[in-house]
């Protein structure tokens, strides 16, 4: 289990040091939500490599815990202390309600190739989301999937009835809480730093995350029953402070865009086979772990509850969310048709 130390006085001091406006141009600060070698770190390190090899700028990467929780690094980016941030819609969805679209269950396909094609080609992802993020002062540089969501709990879950009276941790957006309500559970929104301890002490009975993170964060040690429900993908987003980005000379804007493209391509390579490798590591490390893959009939019992979450999404987001959802579905249909 890696240490989850939060922002300390020393951390703030380190951040403030050299915080002159002149330094911003040359030393860019970039924070993400994960640990060394995890998917967001792979993206950030490749972004840094590209920037540093192709310019005189340098990039300082801060990992989870160095500057606080996900909401803290977003606040620091919006106030201009950081230039770049990787934050998942699981948290951004609290301020950009449309970003909660990723939590409508069974909307995304399960197969990775189709999902990747969707991220490359989707108008909703590549044209509509950048406008929504810009309204909040953010330049959206890349949205990307990290892995299929898997539920972990204190018992295997095979039906909505198994979720009864189970407190399932969700990221802190209201729609994901609706999903778990619809699934029959008691949703418990918490920031990441409280999840391992919460599972260990029984404050929560389960949670959802991609396999690589269940392995990396040691979640299987305290929540050993893994269920593949096929209900969604963990998606994330890398962005810049919009004023900072707009103020860059054209050549630096191009550098940032090219570095994001390079980081995306590299990260997509990285996630190929990652879930399988991580599951092997988990199974080698623990005899307690069980793996349940829901069959079609079992999936159907959860899928039946998706329309109420979709309705809730539209209630929360109005016309803007409705348009986004229609485009999202059209984009999904286009890539699914290609597969056939």
Q: Closer to ligand 6CS by CB, 253 or 281: give it.
A: 281
Please provide the DSSP assignment of 238-265 as one string: EEEEHHHHHTS-HHHHHHHHHHHHHHHH
Please provide the DSSP assignment of 39-50 as one string: HHHHHHHHHHHH
Q: Closer to ligand 6CS by CB, 65 or 97: give it.
A: 65
Piece of the chain touching ligand 6CS by CB under 6 A; list 43-51, 97-105, 173-181, 206-214: 206-214
User: Least CB distance from residue 146 to ligand 6CS, whole Å?
Assistant: 6
Q: Measure the CA–CA gap between 175 and 256, rounded to whole angstroms.
A: 32
Residue 1 tokens, joined: 């289990």
* Binding test (CB under 6 A) with ligand 6CS, winner from 213, 233, 313, 328: 213
* Binding test (CB under 6 A) with ligand 6CS, winner from 68, 89, 210, 224: 210
* Binding test (CB under 6 A) with ligand 6CS, winner from 41, 117, 146, 215: 146
Q: Does 105 bind ligand 6CS (CB under 6 A)?
A: no
User: Least CB distance from residue 322 to ligand 6CS, whole Å?
Assistant: 28
Q: Closer to ligand 6CS by CB, 128 or 143: give it.
A: 143
Q: Does 274 bind ligand 6CS (CB under 6 A)?
A: no
- Fill in the DSSP letter of residue 193: G
Total H helices, total E strands in the chain: 17, 10
Q: Does 148 bind ligand 6CS (CB under 6 A)?
A: no
Nearby residues of 163 by Cβ (< 8 Å), 6 or more positions away: 157, 180, 183, 184, 185
Q: What share of the chain is helix, strand, coil (3-state, %, to 5)?
A: 55, 20, 30
Binding site for ligand 6CS (CB under 6 A): 33-34, 70, 88, 146, 171, 192, 209-210, 213, 234
């Amino acid at each position: 289990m890696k240490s989850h130390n939060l922002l300390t006085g020393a951390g703030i001091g380190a951040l403030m040091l050299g915080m002159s406006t002149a330094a911003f141009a040359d030393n860019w600060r970039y924070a993400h939500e994960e640990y060394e070698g995890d998917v967001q770190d792979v993206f950030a390190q490749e972004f840094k490599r590209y920037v540093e090899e192709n310019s005189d700028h340098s990039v300082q990467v801060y990992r989870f815990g160095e500057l606080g929780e996900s909401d803290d690094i977003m606040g620091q980016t919006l106030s201009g202390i950081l230039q770049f941030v990787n934050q998942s819609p699981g948290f951004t969805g609290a301020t950009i309600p449309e970003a909660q679209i990723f939590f409508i269950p069974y909307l995304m396909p399960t197969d990775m190739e189709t999902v990747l094609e969707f991220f490359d080609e989707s108008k909703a992802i590549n044209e509509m989301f950048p406008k929504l993020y810009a309204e909040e002062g953010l330049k959206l540089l890349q949205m990307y999937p990290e892995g299929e969501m898997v539920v972990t709990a204190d018992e295997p879950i095979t039906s909505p009835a198994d979720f009864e009276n189970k407190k399932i941790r969700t990221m802190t957006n209201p729609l994901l809480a609706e999903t778990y309500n619809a699934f029959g559970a008691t949703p418990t929104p918490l920031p990441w730093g409280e999840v391992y301890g919460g599972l260990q002490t029984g404050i929560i009975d389960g949670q959802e995350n991609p396999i690589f993170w269940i392995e990396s964060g040691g979640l299987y040690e305290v929540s050993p029953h893994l269920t593949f429900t096929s209900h969604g993908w963990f998606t994330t987003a890398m962005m810049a402070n919009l004023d900072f980005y707009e103020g860059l000379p054209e050549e630096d804007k191009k550098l940032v865009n090219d570095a994001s493209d390079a980081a995306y391509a590299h990260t997509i390579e990285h996630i190929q086979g990652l879930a399988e490798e991580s599951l092997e590591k988990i199974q080698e490390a623990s005899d307690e772990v069980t793996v349940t893959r829901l069959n079609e009939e079992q999936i159907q019992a959860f899928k039946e509850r998706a329309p109420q979450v979709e309705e809730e999404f539209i209630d929360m987001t109005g016309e803007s969310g409705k348009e986004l959802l229609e485009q999202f579905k059209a984009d999904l249909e286009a890539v699914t048709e290609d597969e056939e």
